[in-house]
Amino acid sequence: MPSEIKFGTDGWRAIIADQFTFANVRKAAQGLASEMLASGTAQSGAVIAWDTRFASQAFAATTAEVLTGNGIRCSLATRPAPTPAASFSVTHHNAGGGVMITASHNPGAYNGFKVKSDQGGSAPPEMVERIEAQVARVESGEVELRSIGLDTAEKNGLLNRFDPTGPYLEKLAQVVDIGPIKNAPLKIVVDSMYGSGGGLFPRLLAGGKLELLEIHGEPNPAFPGFAQPEPIEANLGALRDAVRETGADAGIAFDGDADRVGYVDENGRYISTLEGFSLLAHHLLERRGQRGSVVSTITMSSMVDRLGEAYRVDTPRTAVGFKYVGPMMLTTDAVLGGEESGGYAFRGHVPERDGLLSGLFFLEAMVMSGKHPSELLSELFAITGPHSFQRIDLEFPAGDRAAIQQVINTAEPDELGGLAVERSDRLDGVKYFLVGGSWAIVRMSGTEPLLRIYSEAPNAETVSLILDDLKTMLGQS
């Protein structure tokens, strides 16, 4: 029988009580334990954290039972925490790895099992392959699944409990000087989307002139009002309204586990994830004067390349997923790294997405420049030229998957949206490079049964025409 435990773009995710069961979590945990024992990282122990989703705390406890049952010391979180807090905790505890129980931005019916390397980032592809091989050995009966109760583990010195949020927030305040932000006369609205980032931004930035209004800050595993807790334009109506109604200077949103970010300007306009990342890159290169590579995935804006040319820094690209971005950041000493989904990481912190830190750098750009977000974008466009972007997620019948994949593997259109196709790249799905610097991508989601199509062009009209042609090409119009 094929395994129900399949690691995608970032960890294994599945619907709760369908494939995401306690039995399968035990198998995944045993696979990780076996990998850590084989690789020699087990002697440094593991960190286990969890988010606000249904039964996340119980799934985390089950994971700890298995790891300690294999003799691996574990630090188990006592409260829900953002994924970046779990990532930082791995390095803070000098652990050999970690697990975060979360399905990140997926709908509320999902939960997930994210694995962290000893660097705090997403498990790199080679580590994931070793874990999957160990899971297969567990499922075949070749490896025994070992587990002990948490009380026994604690008595045997194999388990300690900790609150990951305090040291994590202290670290953020070291990476960004929050004093000027706290004392800036700004009004900011934060949407925590009922996730594990709730309450943390107000806690971090309290005590100054900054007025911070939080919406959806209380935990709710159903994520009411959201198709999924993802800070994309379709989900930010309440934030945009709140910014306009309160006369706020900006809006910031975090996804379910606070490793992704979304921005809204002072007029309630959504700032796309490509604009947001490019804005932060410009801030770090220009106002902070940092130098080093800017790493991003193939779905990130070509504005990044224009910034690289302007500031004479490299802009390497990877396949989609921070399991590729994080290692590339480490090998190139990157200033920052990011992907189109709104996940950005920064030098001086763990090589993993951090929504709260992304929010702090956004506020720092406003404070240091004295400009509103719309003005920061105008400043960016003066260097890169105007860019428009859109991503569409398409559901499709399961039986059509092979036919659609065949189109992705072979289609070579002459033009899209009236623009000639200059070349294509199949590093991850297919990317079409169009005349004048525009581009389009088609790829399967690594975490959900979705077909994703993307395009960037100088204006929204051209983007729309490109996407229409892609949908026709894929038989999805």
CATH number for the domain harbouring residue 422: 3.30.310.50
With a cut of 70, list the residues of the chain below it in pLDDT.
1, 446-448
Q: Output the pLDDT for position 114.
A: 97
Backbone region of residue 11 per phi and psi (left: phi > 0; alpha: psi in -120 to 50; beta: other values) = left
pLDDT tens for 109-154 read: 999 999 999 999 999 999 999 999 999 999 999 999 999 999 999 9
Q: Does residue 342 contact residue 260 with C-beta atoms inside 8 Å?
A: yes
Distance CA 56, CA 25 (A): 11
d(CA 129, CA 134): 9
Instruction: Say if residue 31 is in the same domain as residue 60.
Output: yes
| 134 located within any domain | yes
Q: Which of 356, 384, 412 is the last residue of a domain?
A: 384
| The pLDDT of residue 447 | 63
Query: What pLDDT score was predicted for residue 41?
Result: 97
In a domain? residue 126: yes
CA distance 402 to 273: 30
Is 1 a member of any domain?
Answer: no
* pLDDT given at position 69: 98
CA atoms within 13 A on the CB side of 292: 17
In this prediction, residue 1 carries a pLDDT of 66
Please indicate, yes or no, if residue 170 is contained in any of the structural domains.
no
Enclosing domain of residue 74? 7-165
* 96 plus 193 within the same structural domain: no
Q: Do 191 and 337 reside in the same domain of the chain?
A: yes
Q: What is the pLDDT of residues 25-72, one digit of tens each?
A: 999 999 999 999 999 999 999 999 999 999 999 999 999 999 999 999
Examine the domain organization and report whether 322 and 423 are in the same domain.
no
Let me know whether 14 and 103 are in one domain: yes
pTM above 0.85, yes or no: yes
- CATH at residue 253: 3.40.120.10
One domain for residues 36 and 132: yes
Q: What local confidence, expressed as pLDDT, does residue 401 receive?
A: 83
Q: What is the pLDDT of residue 398?
A: 76
Q: For residue 212, how many other CB atoms are within 10 A of its CB?
A: 20
Cβ(477)–Cβ(428) under 8 Å? no
Pairing of strands 430-434, 419-425: antiparallel
Domain end call among 359, 384, 409: 384
Domain tally for the chain? 3
Residue at which a domain ends, from 118, 139, 165: 165
The verdict on 48 and 153 lying in the same domain is yes
Same domain, 320 and 419: no
Looking at the structure, do residues 261 and 122 belong to the same domain, yes or no? no
Of 424, 457, 116, nearest to 301 by C-alpha is 457
Residue 242 in domain: yes
Q: What is the pLDDT of residue 292?
A: 97
185 and 121, same domain (yes or no)? no
Q: 255 and 377 share a domain?
A: yes
Domain co-membership, 283 together with 401: no
| Residue with tokens 């905790």, as numbered in its chain | 89
Give the pLDDT confidence score for residue 446 in this predicted structure.
67
Residue with tokens 């994971």: 63
Q: Please, how many CA atoms are within 13 Å of residue 101, restricted to the half-sphere of its CB?
A: 30
Residues whose CB is less than 8 angstroms from the CB of residue 307 and which lie 6 or more positions away in sequence, other chains included: 278, 281, 282, 285, 294, 313, 315, 383, 384
